[in-house]
């Protein structure tokens, strides 16, 4: 498939006979690449120094995984299994060419220091390009007044906040403080929406009655807990007229709140993840700690919830489909079993692996089962996250001038998922044994092959750090709610 041609050719690479899909179009073209960028899209292009024949195959923009956790520091003694070497290797082998993990501030820590520390962890290791979101867990006066605005100005233009977890959560007043900065400075706030007190109340009672097995994780965080927090997050964003994105939405209760807000014209964006399409509460069952493998928050729900999430992907309620890769090994005291087989559910680290399987799962079950069309697939997995997080049009599309991040898809070779064949450092996949009808044949990162026919060909350190522009929602005109009298009064008083 990959042939070397003339060394003095017009292009470094030509991907010939491509059936290209972007978020908006489908067309047949040869794709000419020079110096890592797409420089020509036409039929019958001149020869490249190397060529790949993509005849009969979809060629799509490389995936942008806008929510994954790599080598993120933790406060409970747990340890993430993937760093920027193994995580980006796994991503590349699954067709993802940009990742956006999180520089996480610990309580008591400077946010700027957290970003510096994360660069020390990341730089020189990734085989594909990467940007950072921040996690703001300590919204001190200094963070709100100085650090956050400065970092946004330096290209860290999105950050996540938590409404739950004692070591991470912000109260409503602190949330208002950071939303106010996001509005002023043009950043996008990602919100983990689950109600902390409801979870604590339920957890205390479940544990007091000896109900500590993994399955009770789901009962400690029922859908109403997510719905209440989602509604509250939306209300806070409406109060300050600033866009937010609700991450990892699990079912119809939260989805309905988001849809309701969108219908009212609010700038509310939403993300969902493979676990809410392909797992249910049954996956938290099983002997002993088995169910700990699928402990994530919000927890996987039921078949009706899966359907509601499919509906939300198809009807535009969700703009982003991310992995939320949070890699903890199962058979490991620094992973899913810190207290061995007696670990209570609330001490199991939250999260599941999924960087490598994200795109193939959605392609197989979404596109090839006619639940979503190919353009929607591209939008959800690449173009929309690139726009929402300030990387478009360098990332997220196949167009003249864009980085030559592309995936040639093989839809002819069914493949069963086996963890042994994945490239992460986790000792399991929640999708073991699942039959997929699509998998990348070739992944290109800025014109270089990083994965081909089952073999990783990337190079640790070849990935570049990306400074993000202002996210698209933060740049566009404010919603029709912009002239809120309380905001006008505050603005008038300040001028
Ligand atoms: N939230 C995430 O986004 N990832 C893992 C755990 C969590 O609660
Ligand atoms: Zn979260
Ligand atoms: Zn996450």
CA of 59 to the centre of ligand 2 (A): 32
CA of 442 to the centre of ligand 1 (A): 30
Ligand nearest to C-alpha 295: 1
CA of 194 to the centre of ligand 2 (A): 9
Query: What is the structure's pLDDT at 410?
Result: 98
Ligand nearest to C-alpha 66: 3
The 3-state secondary structure of 121-149 reads: HHCCCCCCEECCEEECCCCCHHHHHHHHH
Going 131 to 319 to 272 to 135, the CA torsion angle's sign is positive
- Report which ligand 1 atom has the smallest distance to the Cα of 297: 8
Query: What is the structure's pLDDT at 476?
Result: 63
DSSP secondary structure letter of residue 409 = E
Binding site membership of 323 for ligand 1 (Cβ less than 6 Å): no
Binding site membership of 349 for ligand 1 (Cβ less than 6 Å): no
Query: What is the structure's pLDDT at 442?
Result: 98
CA of 67 to the centre of ligand 3 (A): 6
Residue bearing tokens 């839809």: 411
Binding site membership of 192 for ligand 1 (Cβ less than 6 Å): yes
Ligand nearest to C-alpha 102: 3
> Which residue out of 296, 328, 335, 348 has the highest number of ligand 1 atoms within 8 Å of its CB and is therefore the one to mutate?
296
Ligand nearest to C-alpha 299: 1
Burial of residue 331 (number of CB atoms within 10 Å: 0-12, 13-18, 19+):
exposed
> Which residue out of 350, 355, 430 has the highest number of ligand 1 atoms within 8 Å of its CB and is therefore the one to mutate?
350
- Nearest residue (CA) to ligand 1, atom 8: 297
CA of 351 to the centre of ligand 3 (A): 7
Binding site membership of 351 for ligand 1 (Cβ less than 6 Å): yes
Question: pLDDT tens digits for 214-269?
Answer: 999 999 999 999 999 999 999 999 999 999 999 999 999 999 999 999 999 999 99
The 3-state secondary structure of 444-493 reads: EECCEEEEECCEECCCCCCCCECCCCCCHHHHCCCCCCCCCHHHHHHHHH
Q: Please report the domains of the chain, with CATH numbers, ordered by start residue.
A: 61-393+467-474 (3.20.20.140)
Task: Report the distance separating Cα 48 and Cα 18, nearest Å.
Answer: 15
Binding site membership of 350 for ligand 1 (Cβ less than 6 Å): yes
- Report which ligand 1 atom has the smallest distance to the Cα of 326: 5
CA of 336 to the centre of ligand 2 (A): 17
Close Cβ partners of 455 (under 8 Å, ≥ 6 residues apart): none
- Report which ligand 1 atom has the smallest distance to the Cα of 160: 3
Query: What is the structure's pLDDT at 6?
Result: 63
Nearest to 355 by CA among 94, 137, 104, 178: 94
- Nearest residue (CA) to ligand 1, atom 5: 351
- Rounded to 5 degrees, what angle do the CA atoms 290, 294, 297 make? 140
Q: Report residues of the chain scoring pLDDT below 50.
A: 477, 480
CA of 248 to the centre of ligand 1 (A): 8
CA of 324 to the centre of ligand 1 (A): 7
Q: Are 293 and 351 in contact (CB under 8 A)?
A: no
Binding site membership of 217 for ligand 1 (Cβ less than 6 Å): no
Close Cβ partners of 263 (under 8 Å, ≥ 6 residues apart): none
> Which residue out of 67, 69, 273, 355 has the highest number of ligand 1 atoms within 8 Å of its CB and is therefore the one to mutate?
69
How many Cβ atoms sit within 10 Å of the Cβ of residue 368?
Answer: 15
Query: What is the structure's pLDDT at 481?
Result: 52
Binding site membership of 177 for ligand 1 (Cβ less than 6 Å): no
Task: Report the distance separating Cα 104 and Cα 351, nearest Å.
Answer: 16
User: Which pair of tokens denotes residue 123?
Assistant: 């730089």
Binding site membership of 326 for ligand 1 (Cβ less than 6 Å): yes
- Report which ligand 1 atom has the smallest distance to the Cα of 296: 6
Close Cβ partners of 271 (under 8 Å, ≥ 6 residues apart): 66, 67, 190, 245, 246, 247, 248, 249, 318, 319, 320, 321, 322
CA of 183 to the centre of ligand 3 (A): 23
Close Cβ partners of 316 (under 8 Å, ≥ 6 residues apart): none
Query: What is the structure's pLDDT at 478?
Result: 54
SS3 state of residue 325: strand
User: Angle of helix 252-263 relative to helix 303-315, nearest 10 degrees?
Assistant: 20
> Which residue out of 80, 159, 324 has the highest number of ligand 1 atoms within 8 Å of its CB and is therefore the one to mutate?
324
- Nearest residue (CA) to ligand 1, atom 2: 324
Task: Report the distance separating Cα 358 and Cα 262, nearest Å.
Answer: 26
Q: Report the relative pairing of strands 11-21 and 58-61 from DSSP bridges.
A: parallel
Task: Report the distance separating Cα 481 and Cα 215, nearest Å.
Answer: 43
């Amino acid at each position: 498939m990959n042939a070397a041609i003339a060394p003095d050719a017009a292009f470094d690479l030509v991907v010939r006979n491509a059936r290209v899909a972007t978020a908006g179009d489908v067309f047949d073209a040869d794709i000419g690449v020079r110096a890592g960028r797409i420089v020509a899209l036409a039929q019958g292009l001149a020869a490249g120094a190397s060529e790949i024949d993509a005849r009969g195959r979809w060629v799509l923009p490389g995936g942008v995984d806008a929510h994954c956790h790599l080598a993120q520091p933790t406060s409970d003694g747990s340890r993430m299994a993937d760093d920027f070497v193994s995580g980006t290797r796994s991503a590349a082998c699954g067709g993802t060419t940009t990742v956006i993990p999180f520089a996480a501030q610990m309580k008591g820590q400077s946010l700027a220091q957290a970003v510096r520390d994360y660069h020390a962890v990341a730089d020189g290791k990734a085989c594909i390009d990467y940007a950072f979101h921040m996690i703001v867990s300590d919204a001190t006066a200094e963070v709100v007044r100085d650090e956050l605005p400065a970092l946004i100005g330096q290209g860290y233009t999105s950050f996540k906040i938590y409404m739950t977890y004692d070591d991470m959560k912000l109260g409503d007043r602190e949330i208002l403080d950071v939303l106010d900065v996001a509005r002023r400075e043009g950043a996008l706030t990602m919100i983990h929406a689950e109600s902390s007190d409801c979870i604590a109340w339920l957890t205390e009672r479940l544990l007091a009655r000896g109900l500590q097995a993994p399955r009770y994780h789901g009962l400690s965080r029922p859908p109403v807990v997510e719905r209440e927090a989602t509604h509250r997050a939306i209300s806070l964003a409406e109060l300050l007229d600033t866009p937010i994105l609700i991450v990892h939405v699990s079912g119809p209760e939260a989805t309905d709140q988001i849809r309701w807000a969108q219908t009212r014209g609010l700038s509310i964006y939403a993300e969902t993840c493979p676990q809410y399409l392909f797992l249910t509460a049954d996956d938290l069952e099983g002997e002993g700690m088995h169910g700990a493998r699928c402990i994530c928050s919000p927890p996987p729900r039921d078949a009706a919830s899966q359907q509601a999430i499919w509906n939300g992907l198809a009807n535009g309620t969700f703009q982003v489909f991310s992995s939320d890769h949070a890699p903890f090994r199962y058979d490991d005291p620094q992973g899913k079993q810190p207290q061995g087989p007696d670990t209570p559910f609330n001490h199991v680290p939250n999260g599941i692996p999924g960087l490598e399987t994200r795109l193939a799962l959605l392609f197989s079950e979404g596109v090839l089962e006619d639940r979503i069309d190919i353009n929607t697939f591209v939008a959800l997995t690449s173009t929309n996250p690139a726009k929402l997080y300030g990387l478009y049009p360098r990332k997220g599309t196949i167009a003249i001038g864009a980085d030559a991040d592309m995936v040639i898809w093989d839809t002819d070779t069914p493949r069963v998922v086996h963890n042994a064949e994945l490239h992460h450092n986790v000792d399991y996949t929640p999708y073991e044994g699942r039959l997929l009808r699509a998998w990348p044949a070739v992944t290109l990162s800025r014109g270089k092959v990083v994965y081909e026919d089952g073999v990783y060909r990337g190079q640790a350190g070849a990935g570049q750090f990306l400074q993000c522009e202002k996210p698209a929602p933060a740049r566009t005109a404010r919603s029709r709610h912009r002239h809120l009298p309380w905001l006008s009064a505050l603005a008038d008083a300040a001028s």
